[in-house]
Amino acid sequence: MLTPDPSRSATLAPAPRPSVRAPLLLGAGVLTLSFAVLALLVAAAGGPTGVDRPVLTWTVAHRSGGWNAVEALATALGSGPFVVVITCAVAATLWWLRDRAGALAMVTLLAGAAVLTVAGKHLLARTRPPAATQVLPLETGFSFPSGHTLFAVSVWCGAAVLLSWHLRRRGSRVLLVTAGTLVAVGVGASRLYLGYHWLTDVLGALVLGTAWVLVCVALASALRPAPRAAAPAHAVAPPLALRG
């Protein structure tokens, strides 16, 4: 629920302090390096790696009609149209909350995920799992990294973090970020379950997507107005905050 918060100064909700931005960027760097190593291993394998085929075989053997429907719904949460709608809705909400940096970061998350997905797929040109292992409808095109998973991490996790800055209670912020993370992981698991990707496709997308979220969160934090001293209540309009 949106309510004026007269007890706050005319600043936005707390964001990561400047001292936290360096660890965010360091973490992004470590994750990016990890993705590069994984990409090299995938390229060197020239096909499925040692863990890819056994995992796919296991998931195919444990499918059921009911779970197929559930996983199909889960994978839709990382589809292009869905993440575009989520991005627009969250960016509009952040803009309304006067968080211009957060709104910009939200759009950047989506655009960057698209670029990273296309670049990664064409760079490695990895073949998807065989059609016989996929749940209909079949998917074609390159496999590494998983685009649905990368979009889900970037948009759902990014949105959760940026919106959490506007929640007062720590527990609510943790719950929101946890929910976003579970959605992203669920999308990745669905891509593996449905046979559209190898395990390393999903792992690569999770790692690269997390790195991109950390970069955009650090950027949004840096672009936010610096904290100001509280002004008299009659001098400024109270900012908007979310109860939670």
Residue 53: the pLDDT is 94
Angle between helices 100-124 and 199-223 (to 10 degrees): 150
Q: How far apart are CA 68 and CA 158, in angstroms?
A: 28
| 8 A C-beta contact, residue 200 and residue 49 | yes
The torsion angle over the Cα atoms of residues 7, 12, 14 and 20, rounded to 10 degrees, is: -150
Residue 48: the pLDDT is 92
Blockwise average pLDDT, block size 10, the chain, 244 residues: 41 58 92 96 91 94 90 94 96 94 96 96 93 90 95 97 91 95 96 95 97 95 68 48 55
Residue 223: the pLDDT is 85
Span 46-91, pLDDT tens digits: 889 999 999 999 999 999 888 899 999 999 999 999 999 999 999 9
Residue 236: the pLDDT is 46
This prediction has a pTM of 0.85
Residue 239: the pLDDT is 47
Residue 66: the pLDDT is 87
